[in-house]
Amino acid sequence: MVNRLRESSSDYLRQHAHQAVDWWEWGAEALASAVELDRPILLSVGYASCHWCHVMSHESFDDPAVAGFINDHFVAIKVDRQQHPDVDAVYMTATQAMNGGAGGWPMTAFLTPTGEPFFTGTYFPPEPQGGQPSFRQVLEAMADAWHSRRDKVSASAAYIVASLSAHETPQTDSAPDLRKAVDDIESAFDLIHGGFGRQPKFPAPTLLDALLVKGDPRTLELAQRTLEAMARGGIHDQVGGGFHRYAVDPGWVVPHFEKMLYDNALLLGTYVRGWRRTADHDSGLRALLERTAYGIVEWLEREMVGDHGAFISGLDADSCDIRGAVHEGIFYLWNPELLDDALGPELGEWAAETFHVTRGGTFEDGLSTLQLRGRPDFAKLDEVSRVLLEERATRFRPGADNLVVAAWNGWMISSLVTGALIFNEKGWLELALRAAEHLVAVHLGDGDLRRSSRDGVAGPGTGIAEDFGAVAEAFALLAGATGDAGWLRRAEALVDRGVELFAHPDGGFYDAADTGLFDRPRSLTDNVTPSGTSAMVAALRLVGLLAERPDLIERADAAARTTWSAVAETPRFAGAALADLLISDEARRGLKPAVAVVVSDDPFDELARAAWRLAPAGSAILTAPAGAEGWGTHLEHRDRHAVYVCRGTVCFDPVTDYNELKTPLWTRA
C-alpha cells in the first residue's frame, strides 16, 4: 500500500508513505475528515533524522495489525515538526504539561475531532516494558475512552485547553541585573568538563555568544573553556567536521549522533567569534577554534549542499553495519584495529592515542567516539583525518533529510558571511550567496516567506517568526558584505512583514501567525535556536542601522523589553536575549553599535576585513564603492578609500590604515 504521503514535500512524511496507516498531512482537509467521521485524531509528530521516530515507525506503524486498528478508530495525521513548528510547539506544550515536563520526539497525541488534546506522550514500545504500556494498549484505551466515556474525554480536553490558554508570559518593566544573570550562569558551569549543567549536555551557542559580547576575563573564560571542550569531545566529528546534536554524558564523550543544520549554523558563527575574541598569544586555542570552524564548512560543502545550492536539514543518527543491521552512530565509531587497518600500525597507534580510542571503547561493543587529546601536530592530524575520512566514506552512510528550512539556511548564511570576511574565505561568501539566491527563488513570493522546500518546490507552511528574522538578518549581512542594496531591500520587506504577521499586543512577537489552533505559540526563551522574538530583534536592529530606519530599532527595543523576565529568571536559556541586553548595556556606557562604511569595490579589501574582525558586537558593516546607489546617506560625500565609523550621532575621522581602526570602533563616546 502507498498512502497519501507519497507526494509530500517532507522526507519524514515520505518515510511513512509505504505504511498501511491511512495517514493524512496536517491541514484543513484532515481536520474536516475527523469531524465528518466523528473520530478522535492520532497526531504523530517527528522529523526525518529522529532516531526514536524511526524506531517507533518500524516497531508499530509498519505493523499491519496496528495500522488496521488505527484506520478503524482514528484519523491519523503525520506532522514533520520542521515544516510545521507552530503545530509542534502547541502540542508539545500540552505534552509537557500533561507529563510532568517530559516531552520529545516522536510526539504522540490523541485529540478530539476539533483538535483539543486529551492524552499525550512520546515513544511507546510495541510491548509493555518498564511500567510503560505498549502502543497497541494505548490505542485500545483511547478508542475505548472515546466510545464509552466521551463526555469525560471532552471535558478533560476542554480543561486542558483552558489551562494552557490561561498561561501568560510574565513581564517586567525593570531591566534584569546583568551581574546576577552572569552569576547564575557561572553557577551552572561544569568546572571539570566545560559547558553548563550535567547531562544531556547541549552546545548552547546563543549562550556562548552572549558570554563573548563584552570579552571580560570571567565570561570569556566560560565561553572559551566550553568551546575548547566541545571541539575536543566526541560530540565533534573529529575527522569529518561538524557537531552532533548533544552529548548524553557530562564530558562531551558520547553524542546523540544526528547532525543538524541549525546546530552547525549557529556553532560556526560562535566558533568564528570565539576565535576573534582569543588573543594572538594563545596560539593553541586559536588553532583549535579555527580548525573547528573550517571543519564545519568542509562538512557543509561535502554533505549538506543540495543540487539547488541551499543547505539541507540534517543527517540521521542511524546507519547500517557491514551485515546490514542498523545501529546508532556506527558510521562514526572506531576501534584500534580499524585505525590500524586504515593507517598502518605506526600511525594507527598515534591516532588511537590522539583520539583516545581504547580496547574497552567509549561506546558499545568496544567501539569509541573520537576525542582530541593533548596538543597534537595539526599538520599530522589533518593528514590522518583525511585518510580516516576516505576510509569512512566506504561505510554505509546515514540517511539525509533533504528538506530546506528557511531559518536554518538564514543562520548558516549569516555565519558563512561573518566567517568569510574574518578568515578571508571568498568561497564561503559564494556558498552563502548561492543559498540566499535559492531562498529568493523558491521561498519568497507574494510578500511572504515559505518555511520549507524540497527539490526546489516550496512546502505548505508559511514561515514563522524565526524564519523571517533569520533570513532578514542573513540578507542584511549579505548586503553589507557585498554592497548590493537589493539584499537590504529584501531584508526590509521581511522585517516589515514579520512585524505585521507576528506582533503581540505587549510589543513583542508571537512565534507564529494565527492558524486557528486553540493556542498561539510564544516562547521568550531559546530552545536550541534563538526564540522567534530574539530572531526578529536581531534582524530589526541590523536592518534598522543599514537602512537608516530608527523606527525598526525602536520596534526592536520594544520587543526586547518583553524578554527581560526570561533573562532574569532563566538566563542560561535566554542567551540571544541576554546578548542583546549586554550590547545595549555597552551602548549605555558609551559604546553604541557602530556603523562602519568601507568605501571600496572589493568586499575582501583589507580595511573591510579589519572592520569585520574588530567591530564590537551589534555593529553594522557596509563595504561598497563610492557612489553606490540604494544606501541613503551612508555613502554621501564619502568618495575616497577609507573606513567611516559612526556610532549614534558621533562620527569619527576617516581611517585609511587598518592598524588605526580599533580607535573609532572602541572609543567610548
Nearest to 13 by CA among 22, 29, 25: 25
Residue 103 sits in the same domain as residue 235: no
- Residues in Cβ contact with 313 at an 8 Å cutoff, skipping those fewer than 6 apart: 47, 48, 49, 82, 260, 261, 401, 402, 403, 404, 405, 408
Q: Do 419 and 558 belong to one domain?
A: yes
- 230 and 359 inside one domain: no
Q: In the block, which residue shows the cell 475527523? A: 34
Whether the CB-CB separation of 463 and 510 falls below 8 Å is answered with no
**Are residue 248 and residue 211 in the same domain, yes or no?**
yes
Q: What's the Cα-to-Cα distance from 413 to each of 330, 583, 662, rounded to whole Å?
A: 30, 22, 26
Q: Are 464 and 532 in contact (CB under 8 A)?
A: yes
In this structure, the answer to whether residues 270 and 387 fall within a common structural domain is: no
CB contact set of 49 (below 8 Å; sequence gap of 6+): 258, 259, 260, 313, 314, 315, 316, 317, 399, 401
pLDDT of residue 447: 77
User: Could you report the per-residue pLDDT of 231-267, keeping only the tens digit for each?
Assistant: 999 999 999 999 999 999 999 999 999 999 999 999 9
What is the Cα–Cα distance from 607 to 421, expressed in whole angstroms? 11
- Is the residue at 6 inside a domain? no
Of 16, 106, 124, 115, give the one whose Cα is nearest residue 75: 115
CA pair distance 584, 289, nearest whole angstrom: 27
Instruction: Give me the CATH number covering residue 65.
Output: 3.40.30.10
In a domain, 4, yes or no: no
**How far is 365 from 328, CA to CA, in rounded Å?**
12
- pLDDT score recorded for residue 7: 86
In this structure, the answer to whether residues 140 and 282 fall within a common structural domain is no
Q: Are residues 301 and 351 in the same domain?
A: no
The 3-state DSSP composition of the chain as helix, strand, coil percent (nearest 5) reads 50, 15, 35
Helices (H), 320-392: 336-343, 345-354, 378-392
HSE of 555, CA atoms in CB hemisphere, 13 A? 25
Residues 159, 186: one domain? no
- Domain of residue 479, CATH code: 1.50.10.10
Residue 477: HSE in the Cβ half-sphere, 13 Å Cα cutoff: 28
Residue with cell 556603523: 595
**207 domain residue, yes or no:** yes
Checking if the pLDDT of 573 tops 90, the result is: yes
Can you read off the three cell numbers belonging to residue 259? Answer: 547532525
Q: Is the pLDDT of residue 648 over 70?
A: yes
Q: Does residue 116 fall inside a structural domain?
A: yes
Look up residue 599 and give its three cell numbers: 568605501
Task: Tell me: do 600 and 583 sit in the same domain.
Answer: no
Other C-beta atoms closer than 10 Å to the C-beta of 625 total 13
pLDDT one-digit tens code per residue, 441-475: 999 987 799 999 999 999 988 999 999 999 999 99
Distance CA 164, CA 518 (A): 9
Q: Are 155 and 129 contained in the same domain?
A: yes
Asked if 642 and 599 touch (Cβ cutoff 8 Å), the reply is: yes
**Mean of pLDDT over the chain:** 95
Q: How far is CA 422 from CA 117, 275, 428, 429, 614, in A?
A: 49, 10, 11, 11, 9
What would the grid cell of residue 132 be? 510503560
Quick check: 611 and 621 in contact, CB under 8 A? yes
69: left (phi over 0), alpha (psi -120 to 50) or beta: alpha
On the 0-12 / 13-18 / 19+ scale of CB atoms within 10 A, 325 is exposed
Last residue of a domain, one of 532, 554, 589: 589
Nearest to 342 by CA among 309, 304, 390: 390
2 pLDDT more than 70? no
Contacts of 603 (CB under 8 A, 6+ apart): 421, 429, 481, 482, 483, 623
Check whether residue 300 and residue 234 sit in a common domain: yes
Give residue 461's pLDDT. 83
- 325 is a domain residue: no
The stretch 535-545 carries a mean pLDDT of 98
- In the predicted model, is pLDDT for residue 538 greater than 60? yes
376-407 pLDDT, tens digit per residue, is 899 999 999 999 999 999 999 999 999 999 99
Does position 1 have pLDDT exceeding 60, yes or no? no
Residue 5: inside a domain, yes or no?
Answer: no
- Write down which residue in 115, 136, 166 finishes a domain: 166
**Dist. CA 367–CA 90, nearest whole Å:** 40
Any domain includes 321: no
* DSSP H or E segment with residue 45: strand 41-46
Is the Cβ–Cβ distance between 497 and 536 less than 8 Å? no
Identify the helix (H) or strand (E) that includes residue 444.
Answer: strand 444-445
pLDDT of residue 605: 95
In the predicted model, what is the mean pLDDT of residues 184-194?
97
Percent of the chain with pLDDT over 70: 99
Q: Residue 509, class by beta-carbon neighbours within 10 Å (0-12 exposed, 13-18 middle, 19+ buried)?
A: buried
Q: Are 107 and 45 in contact (CB under 8 A)?
A: yes
Q: Is residue 573 part of a domain?
A: yes
Domain boundary among the residues 589, 619, 639 is at 589
Do 231 and 153 fall into the same domain?
no
- Residue 339 corresponds to which amino acid? L
DSSP assigned state of 363: S
From the CA atom positions of the chain, what is the Rg in Å? 25
Distance CA 588, CA 62 (A): 60
CA distance 281 to 302: 33
Give pLDDT, residue 292: 98
360, burial (CB in 10 Å: exposed 0-12, middle 13-18, buried 19+)? exposed
Helix (H) or strand (E) holding 659: none
Distance (Å) of CA 240 to CA 244, 266, 293, 373, 384: 11, 18, 12, 17, 11
Let me know: does 83 contact 461? Beta carbons within 8 Å. Answer: yes
Segments forming the whole domain that contains residue 49: 11-166
Number of domains in the chain: 4
Q: Give strand ranges (E) for 227-373.
A: 246-247, 255-256, 259-260, 314-315, 318-320, 326-328
Q: What is the pLDDT of residue 598?
A: 98
The residues with which 448 forms a beta bridge, in sequence order, are: 445
For 225, list phi and psi in degrees, rounded to 5: -65, -35
Helices 178-187 and 575-588: crossing angle in degrees, nearest 10, is 140
